[in-house]
Amino acid sequence: MTTSDLKFFFTRFIIIFLIFMMMFFAIFYYDAKKELETSKSNIKAEQKALLEGKKDYIEAVIGAVVKETALLADLLRQQEVYQTESKPNLQSKRTTHNQVSKTLVSMSQRKEIYDQIRYLDLDGNEVVRVNFNNGQATVVPQAQLQNKAHRYYFKKAKQLDCNQVYVSPLDLNIEHGVIEMPHKPTIRMSAPVFDQHGNKRGIVIINYLASYLMDGLRLFNLNSGTNYMLVNQDGYYLFNELEPDSEFAFMFKDKLDLTVYSQFPSLAKQIQQTVSGQFETEDGIMTIESVGSINNQSPYCFRDYHLSNSDTTAWKIISYAEFAKRVDVKNPLSRHDTLMRIGVLLSLTLAYFMAKYQLRQHQDNQRIYDLAHYDFLTQLLNRGAFQTELESLIQSARKTQTSLCLIYIDLDDFKGINDEHGHAAGDKALIHVAQAMKNVFGEQITMGRLGGDEFAVILQDNANSEYAKHHASALLELVQRPTEVAQNVCLQINASIGGYLCSGDNCEQEELMHNADLAMYQAKKSGKNRVIITDSSAEV
């Protein structure tokens, strides 16, 4: 394969490869983008439905506990629990106390979701308290009862009117001024107990174990690539599936900066302002659904109850589907990465075979062209191609008003070489002459073999007589150097060289060829093996 063929092959190979790559890239890009958008759309629909389900679940759970708190307040009123304070008979007090205790124990044991159920007098003293630990509801001894007058949930509940229920913020349970270990996420439901005369006599408080609520929320989770969070009105995490250490940071002095706003600073404003909605970032999709008080409206649809300070349960359920962790987003992208690699290999293969096919066609066409325009033996232009080129150069000389010189070379006594040494020797002699012409005039000069032992050269670009004669003489000297035409046979080849120089408008093809031919025959008549260059005015 020649240098020209290699250049042709690699040029075609690169072009075809780039075309295929652009085509594959466009297809893969469009398909990947479409599939990615479909995946994102599915994520948005999935998360929207999921968070709405979580919201309904939270409202149902909290609503049930609120109703049970109100129900318990009614039961304690009917049992006249407050009579334990006013009855003078100790036995009567104990009987009432035992009845109330049994009621609270039964409720705690059956529900298994209440850490504490208490009845407090208006001074904040625990009158009856039932704890639920290790699956067992037990009545707390009288000596271990505490005063809770200083706790916020008691103060809030004490201000309630009839048929009002206070729902506390979700936080960690505190016993004797210390956060209880292990942590117990707790929501306290408080309702006042009134006597038959409508006088407020005490407060019933239920400590709901919110861990059950969190466990229920986890059941909704579908994908490990999504983080589900529950935050309060200040942005603190009440639940953070992937970062549980950040939960209830507002209860620890060294964690007060751990909020959803600090984790997503670029989205902080949107999180604060969004009641229900979604927004997409470069890294993922965030979905928000609000639970609780919105614009000072009651968070739950209780027709028979009024919730005081319902903004304490103004929560936001947030999901953040991070693209880098979502399998349904990563898989399409990974699949297209694989397909892209296959596309590169396929493009290389197709480009190679197509470039090879085009090279073969190019070589065949070049071979046909060469057969039609070049002499097979010497690789010089044949007569037809040479005359066509001569006509073109004459027209160019006329336009540019430059000179042109046509030189004919005819080998002397060439027939004798064929007769004495054979045609193979004659062919070697012709090749020797052609190579000498290329060495003297260069590859860019128009040269041809007109037939037999006749050759021709066209000199252009203001060629003059001295220039033409100098190069023609150099050619004759080079041709005369002995060359091996057969084994152990070296011959000196002689030639008669004649040329004619014309310029500008004086260049006519027939006249130029005729005068060059006359100059060559004049060289033969003058004794052969010589150079004669003429022009329109004189012979040189």
Taking only the tens place, the pLDDT of each residue in 222-276 is 767 889 999 998 999 999 999 999 999 999 999 999 999 999 999 999 999 999 9
Q: Is the dihedral of CA 419, 425, 427, 429 positive or negative?
A: negative
* pLDDT at residue 234 in the model: 92
Q: Is 453 designated active site?
A: yes
Chain-centroid distance of CA 148 in Å reads: 59
**Rounded distance between C-alpha atoms, residue 322 and residue 47, angstroms:** 12
Determine which of 120-124, 284-288, 401-405, 513-517 has the lowest per-residue pLDDT on average.
401-405
**Which residue blocks in 87-187 are alpha helix, DSSP H?**
90-111, 152-158
127: nearest Cα among 107, 105, 142: 142
Cis peptide before 244 (omega within 30 of 0): no
* Distance between CA atoms of residues 469 and 477, nearest Å: 12
- Beta-bridged to residue 209, according to DSSP, are 186
User: What are the chain's domains?
Assistant: 40-209 (3.30.450.20), 214-328 (3.30.450.20), 383-535 (3.30.70.270)
- Is residue 87 very low, low, confident or very high in pLDDT (cuts 50, 70, 90)? low
CA torsion 511-512-515-520 (nearest 10°) is: -150
Mean pLDDT, rounded, for 490-496: 92
Average pLDDT over residues 116-129: 94
Q: Is the pLDDT of residue 113 over 90?
A: yes
Look at the block and give the residue holding tokens 């969070």. 229
Three-state SS sequence of 386-409: HHHHHHHHHHHHHHHCCEEEEEEE
User: Residue 335's pLDDT band (boundaries 50, 70, 90)?
Assistant: low
The answer to whether 404 and 459 are in contact (CB under 8 A) is: yes
- Provide the 3-class DSSP secondary structure of residue 159: coil
Active-site hit among 427, 453, 461, 505: 453
CA separation for the pair 433, 479 (Å, rounded): 6
Predicted pLDDT at 297: 43
Read off the pLDDT of each residue in 120-146 and give the average, rounded to a whole number: 93
Helix axes 423-441, 465-479, angle to 10 degrees: 140
pLDDT in tens, 10-68: 999 999 999 988 988 888 878 878 888 888 888 899 999 999 999 999 988 988 999 99
Burial of 421 (C-beta count, 10 Å sphere; 0-12/13-18/19+): middle
pLDDT digits (tens, 9 = 90+) for 163-180: 889 888 899 998 888 999
pLDDT of residue 300: 46
Does the pLDDT at position 211 exceed 50? yes
Q: How confident is the model at residue 88 (pLDDT cuts 50, 70, 90)?
A: low
Has residue 353 got a pLDDT over 80?
A: yes
CA distance 51 to 230: 11
Q: At what angle do helices 3-78 and 327-373 cross, to 10 degrees?
A: 170
- Position 540 scores a pLDDT of 41
Please give the model's pTM, rounded to 2 decimal places: 0.62
Is the pLDDT score of 451 beyond 50? yes
How far apart, in whole angstroms, are the C-alpha atoms of residue 518 and residue 410?
12
Residue 496 pLDDT level (bands cut at 50, 70, 90)? very high
pLDDT of the residue at 196: 86
| C-alpha distance from residue 204 to each of 68, 73, 192, 304, 492 (Å) | 11, 6, 6, 18, 133
CA distances from 427 to 423, 450, 464 (A): 6, 15, 33
What pLDDT score does 206 carry?
A: 95
Query: Cα–Cα distance between 206 and 399 in angstroms, integer?
Result: 111
Task: Answer yes or no: is pLDDT of 299 > 70.
Answer: no
DSSP3 helix / strand / coil % (the chain, rounded to 5): 50, 25, 25
Is residue 492 over pLDDT 60? yes
346-354 mean pLDDT: 91
* H or E element that contains 172: strand 171-172
- For the chain, the C-alpha Rg in angstroms (whole number) is 54
Backbone dihedral region of 248: left (phi > 0), alpha (psi from -120 to 50 degrees) or beta? left
